[in-house]
């Protein structure tokens, strides 16, 4: 029987050529349902057909943003704006990208323009509030949300963010009351918009924890996690880890080619989320010759493309041992050029703090032989509880964190990876223990700066004063002087976390 040919994105099932308007609708549908690669390919087809149409470049830029390819997204969205400077949604998406790239002032300008063009569009206003909040302007975000809601903008997303921000700026009781009211409203339609309901409960969990209502915090976090469809399959991840360890031996690595892009600029900060990676990046980014790149996806994706099995080539050993220097050069050059375009060529160190780069440290050493890796470590129970009580946004983004058994499993997988890479990879790895860093901040900061090969700058000891966008969920912590109050946090939840204690033990 003849195999079916895949349907081309530019044609309907009957073979008729689709209009660019039809393609745009398809691209937006794919993106809304998480099919980002399909959305990107359709967006590219629209641009090919109608290069002067703003919407096509927006479709490309928006899909790239969702995929985490921020450098390319920035370029596409600028092209969209240059073709039509009056589309609020484009400015809103660009503001998100700019914020994640660390360009705080530009990001605020973009979302201000978006809100000016669409003052009654809640989705646009939500993006503005988030950019202000993550950019270190929590009070401004609260004031903006409060103004919009008092003017009659009755939108549950605006209200939930106002509640979350209120808890950060000293209005804890107000924030809890707001979120509890939204939960009661959600109770009336418990099967509608499960993701929103889950996110709402996670916001509330964070405020309950801050209010030392630990039983309530755990209860609502557990409820929220049960609403997520994460697709986390422990057996599959164990098999992948074991297969990588099987292939990436010391002998194999020694025989592999290295890229000729041996720049010392890239600094990879790895570890479990909530282990202190953002704090380490903030210390480095406080140096005048360094730039905090945030959680970049380009190196992680290149590592997967170059070294992971496919249907056509299912044997990992074949793929890894047949790697070509030219391919490594191409990928490394593109990644570094993107970093430099954002940070500026005069910058001498650029961080990538995507935590789960720990899966691919072997590839990091091949792509960037001159790079350094900083491994952020934290007490396993404190680390795991912190993950469980925080919403990482999206069912599949750190999906293990919504289930204690999965959380324990992922932590053990991470430990296996790091133990292996330290034995076999030639790339330099510095362990930074979170508890030691917050106990002796300047000593720890000096050790980090020395490791990456920069001269000491006193600003690195006052990293909380550094003004920069932090687009991860640690944005509020890095703007405070280092504190030790989160050490031993797990004890507040001891009666709820026997699964974690049995799997990971305690340091007591």
pLDDT in tens, 200-259: 999 999 999 999 999 999 999 999 999 998 889 999 999 999 999 999 999 999 999 999
Tokens of 124: 């646009």
Report residue 84: phi and psi, to 5°: -155, 105
446-470 tens-digit pLDDT: 999 999 999 999 999 987 777 555 5
Q: What is the pLDDT of residue 481?
A: 59
- Determine which of 112-116, 152-156, 278-282 has the lowest per-residue pLDDT on average: 152-156
What does the pLDDT read at residue 392?
85
DSSP state at residue 351: E
Pairing of strands 372-377, 266-270: parallel
Q: How confident is the model at residue 17 (pLDDT cuts 50, 70, 90)?
A: confident
Mean pLDDT of the chain: 92
Residue 444 has pLDDT above 50, yes or no: yes
Instruction: Kindly report the pTM of this predicted structure.
Output: 0.88
Token couple for 280 = 């380490």
pLDDT tens column, 101-119: 888 899 999 999 999 999 9
Question: Which tens digit of pLDDT belongs to each residue from 42-92?
Answer: 999 999 999 999 999 999 999 999 988 898 999 999 999 999 999 999 999
Whether residue 482 is predicted with pLDDT greater than 80 in this model: the reply is no
- Locate the domains of the chain by residue range: 157-227, 234-504
Is residue 224 exposed (0-12), middle (13-18) or buried (19+ Cβ within 10 Å)?
A: buried
pLDDT for residue 395 is more than 70: no
Averaged pLDDT for residues 139-163: 95
Contact 36, 266 (CB under 8 A): no
Mean pLDDT within 150-174: 94
- What integer pLDDT is reported at residue 4 of this predicted model? 41
Q: What is the average per-residue pLDDT within 23-41?
A: 94
The residues with which 350 forms a beta bridge, in sequence order, are 266, 291
Task: Please determine, looking at this structure, whether the domain spanning 157-227 carries the CATH number 1.50.10.
Answer: no
d(C-alpha 224, C-alpha 348), whole Å: 43
DSSP 421-466: HHHH--SEEEEEEHHHHHHSHHHHHHHHHHHTT----GGGGGGGG-
**Distance (Å, rounded) from C-alpha 451 to C-alpha 430?**
7
Residue 480, pLDDT score: 57
**With bands split at pLDDT 50, 70 and 90, how would you rate the model's confidence at 93?**
very high
pLDDT tens for 250-267 read 999 999 999 999 999 999
User: ∠ CA(438), CA(391), CA(180), 5° rounding?
Assistant: 110
Query: Which superfamily does CATH assign the domain made up of 234-504 to?
Result: P-loop containing nucleotide triphosphate hydrolases (3.40.50.300)
Rounded to the nearest 5 percent, the helix, strand and coil shares of the chain are 65, 5, 30
The pLDDT of residue 2 is 41
> d(Cα 392, Cα 198) in Å, to the nearest integer?
11
Of residues 186, 205, 134, 196, the one with CA closest to residue 165: 134
User: Is-contact 254 361, C-beta < 8 A?
Assistant: no
Q: What pLDDT is recorded for position 14?
A: 58
């Amino acid at each position: 029987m003849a195999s079916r040919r895949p349907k081309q994105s530019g044609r309907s099932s009957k073979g008729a050529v689709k209009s660019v308007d039809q393609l745009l609708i398809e691209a937006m549908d794919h993106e809304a349902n998480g099919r980002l690669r399909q959305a990107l390919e359709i967006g590219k087809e629209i641009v090919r057909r109608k290069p002067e149409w703003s919407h096509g470049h927006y479709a490309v830029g928006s899909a790239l943003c969702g995929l985490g390819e921020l450098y390319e997204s920035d370029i596409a969205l600028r092209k969209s704006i240059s073709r039509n400077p009056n589309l609020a949604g484009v400015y809103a998406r660009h503001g998100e990208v700019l914020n994640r790239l660390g360009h705080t002032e530009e990001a605020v300008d973009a979302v201000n323009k978006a809100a000016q063009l669409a003052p009654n569009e809640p989705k646009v206003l939500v993006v503005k509030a988030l950019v202000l909040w993550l950019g270190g302007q929590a009070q401004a975000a609260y004031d903006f949300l409060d103004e919009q809601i008092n003017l009659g903008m009755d939108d549950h997303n605006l209200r939930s963010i106002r509640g979350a921000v209120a808890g950060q700026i000293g209005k804890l009781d107000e924030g809890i009351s707001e979120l509890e009211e939204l939960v009661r409203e959600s109770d009336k339609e418990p099967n509608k918009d499960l993701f929103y309901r889950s996110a709402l409960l996670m916001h509330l969990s964070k405020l309950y924890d801050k209010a030392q209502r630990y039983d309530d915090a755990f209860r609502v976090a557990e409820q929220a996690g049960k609403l997520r469809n994460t697709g986390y399959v422990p057996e599959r991840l164990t098999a992948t880890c074991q297969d990588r360890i099987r292939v990436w031996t010391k002998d194999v690595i020694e025989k592999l080619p290295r890229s000729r892009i041996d720049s010392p600029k890239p600094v990879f900060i790895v570890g479990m989320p909530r282990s202190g990676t953002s704090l380490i990046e903030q210390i480095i980014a406080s140096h005048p010759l360094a730039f905090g790149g945030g959680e970049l996806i380009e190196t992680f994706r290149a590592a997967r493309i170059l070294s992971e099995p496919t249907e056509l080539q299912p044997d990992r050993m074949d793929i890894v041992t047949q790697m070509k220097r030219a391919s490594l050069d191409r990928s490394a050059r593109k990644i570094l050029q993107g970093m430099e375009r954002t940070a500026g060529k005069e910058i001498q160190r650029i961080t990538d703090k995507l935590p789960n780069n720990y899966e691919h440290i072997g590839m990091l050493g091949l792509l960037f032989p001159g790079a350094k890796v900083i491994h952020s470590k934290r007490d396993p129970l404190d680390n795991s509880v912190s993950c469980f009580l925080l919403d990482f946004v999206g069912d599949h983004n750190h999906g293990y964190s919504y289930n204690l058994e999965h959380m324990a499993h992922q932590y053990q997988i991470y430990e296996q990876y790091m133990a292996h890479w330290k034995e076999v990879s030639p790339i330099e790895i510095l362990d930074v223990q979170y508890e030691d860093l917050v106990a002796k901040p300047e000593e720890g900061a000096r050790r980090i700066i020395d490791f990456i090969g920069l001269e000491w700058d006193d600003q690195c000891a006052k990293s909380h004063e550094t003004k920069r966008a932090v687009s991860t969920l640690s944005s509020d912590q890095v703007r405070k002087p280092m504190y030790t109050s989160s050490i031993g946090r797990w004890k507040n939840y001891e009666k709820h976390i026997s699964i974690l204690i049995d799997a990971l033990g305690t340091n007591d």
